[in-house]
Amino acid sequence: MTDLLAIGTRKGLWLARSEDDRRTWRVGEPHLLAQEVAAVSIDTRRDRPRVLAGIQYGHWGPSVVRSDDLGATWEETESGAVRFPEDTGAALARVWQLRPDTADRPDVVWAGCEPHSLWRSTDGGCSFSLVRGLWDHPHRPTWEPGAGGGAVHTVLPDPGSDRVTVAMSTGGVYVSEDGASDWAPRNRGISAVFLPEPPEYGQCVHKVAVDAGDPARMYAQNHFGVFRTDDAGGSWTSIAEGLPADFGFPIAASPTTPGTAWVVPLVADMERVPPSGRLRVHRTRDAGASWTESGEGLPDGAWTAVLRDAFCVDEGDPTGVYVGTRDGCVYASTDEGDTFALVADHLPDVLALRAVRLP
Amino acid sequence: MSVQVVLPGVLADLAGGAKHLDVDPAGGTLADLLDAVDARHPTLGRRIRDETGRVRRFVNVYVDGEDVRWQGGLATAVRDGAVVQVLPSVAGG
């Protein structure tokens, strides 16, 4: 069995492999060197795992590339896998998220992009169609870009229904119950400190994760505030008590253990570094009622940050937890975040991590 | 009509390895020329222009040595025998 960790950075993609149940990792040569890889996924539903990467060719614009041989060769759809239809007058600025759907929808892949847009592929990511229901939503003209740009950065298809949840900066959380045709904002209870009153929409939700035990239970790391919903976004309540800071970018939930999730707190608004420079994760075992700091092996004196997709969990037992930093370090935990070991350092800024287990 | 398009090395792979392309555009503007390039080499075309047809922000295009930004943009006239250079701008980090 091989564990594979994809590391997307500001200047390329690295693939790390472990053959000993994640105890040691071998980091390979760079792929897509000099290209920003802000989104990466490893689609294990196929006969051969497909690596999809949302890249930025620097001067030459964004694109989606794919590899069915773990990076030995890369393919790119000639006309562009993500290409705005002419009538929109829009141009793709950046691919923020690539999300394979569930096993029973084997060729469906979702993409979240900038400008704010959601895309759906039915051919494994070779070509994507703009989800018109969200693009044509009357709220869209008022979704403002955050500092990183205005984008759909989180896509969460529900395995058991036609529900699709997205999160945007800014815009907040929107949910479709009919397979992505009709969309409604679901942000009640989520703060927006940059607006005078809590709005129906327009929040800067940084990341959302779904609980292992209940698809209607989700966790959100907000631009200030950590929240939970138990009714698929109908209402959100704060679960930030006990954290040293309620700002951060990523949030991840255990794929197997209900109630378990992780955040990486940062001091904000201006600093956006770990409290006192101590990079740590905080884990809840009770759906946010309490949090415990962990992360032996993570550095002190770390005046860096962990971006929203530079953090992920795997499907191992125990769950592996992976942290990537803006100063080019990647750490892995095989004990659900209690302890970490360095996988790689001196890489460019880490933008995206994805870990899978290959047979 | 024949126009020579000069590509930087980083884009040549997208044109079969050629750094010089002889192109016969349907009309006499830069837009017509880039449409012809796009038809022959769609991926190369996407590197130069986005899907709205605009030349990408950090791509410089010179027609007979003149930056089209200060000429007519995509409407810049391209004569028979012209040399059109595509260059990356000073950007990056």
**A and B: number of Cβ contacts within 8 A:** 45
Alpha carbon distance A251, A312 (integer Å):
8
Say if A82 is an interface residue toward chain B (CB within 8 Å): no
Alpha-helix residue ranges (DSSP H) falling in A182-270: none
- Give A-chain residues touching B58 at CB under 8 angstroms: 58-59
Q: How many CB atoms lie within 10 A of CB A188?
A: 16
Residue in A with minimal Cα distance to B43: A78
ipTM of the complex: 0.93
Residues B43, A41, A327, A31, Cα dihedral to 10°: -50
In the block, residue with structure tokens 């590899």: A67
| Spans of all domains in chain A | 2-358
Per-residue model confidence as pLDDT tens digits over B71-90: 999 999 999 999 999 999 98
In a domain, B26, yes or no: yes
Closest Cβ opposite residue B52 in set A60, A80, A91: A91
Pairing of strands A281-284, A321-324: unpaired
Overall pTM > 0.95: yes
Question: Which of A303, A305, A291, A300 has the alpha carbon at shortest distance from A337?
Answer: A291
Note whether B59 contacts A59, CB cutoff 8 Å.
yes
Say if A60 is an interface residue toward chain B (CB within 8 Å): yes
- Give A-chain residues touching B46 at CB under 8 angstroms: 61, 63, 79-80
Alpha carbon distance A114, B92 (integer Å):
20
Please give the CATH topology (third level) of the domain spanning A2-358: Methylamine Dehydrogenase; Chain H (2.130.10)
Residues B59, B62, B66, B68, Cα dihedral to 10°: -60
Closest Cβ opposite residue A79 in set B10, B42, B52: B42
Quote the number of domains for chain B.
1
Pick left, alpha or beta for residue A58 (phi over 0 → left; psi -120 to 50 → alpha; otherwise beta): left
Closest Cβ opposite residue B56 in set A60, A84, A86: A60
Regions of chain A with pLDDT less than 70: none
Note whether A61 contacts B11, CB cutoff 8 Å.
no
Regions of chain B with pLDDT less than 50: none
pLDDT for B92 equals: 66
CATH number of the domain residue B72 falls in: 3.10.20.30
In the block, residue with structure tokens 């964004």: A62
Is residue A17 within 8 A of residue A35, CB to CB? The reply is no
Say if A303 is an interface residue toward chain B (CB within 8 Å): no
In a domain, B46, yes or no: yes
In a domain, B10, yes or no: yes
pLDDT for A198 equals: 82
Residue in B with minimal Cα distance to A62: B47
Note whether B56 contacts A83, CB cutoff 8 Å.
no
Note whether A76 contacts B43, CB cutoff 8 Å.
yes
Residue in B with minimal Cα distance to A94: B50
Sign, CA torsion B2/B5/B11/B16: positive
Note whether B51 contacts A83, CB cutoff 8 Å.
yes
Note whether B92 contacts A59, CB cutoff 8 Å.
yes
Q: Which domain holds residue B50?
A: 3-88
Closest Cβ opposite residue B56 in set A59, A79, A83: A59
In a domain, B78, yes or no: yes
Average pLDDT of chain A is: 97
| CA atoms in the 13 A half-sphere facing the CB of A253 | 25
Note whether B46 contacts A63, CB cutoff 8 Å.
yes
In a domain, B93, yes or no: no
Residue in A with minimal Cα distance to B58: A59
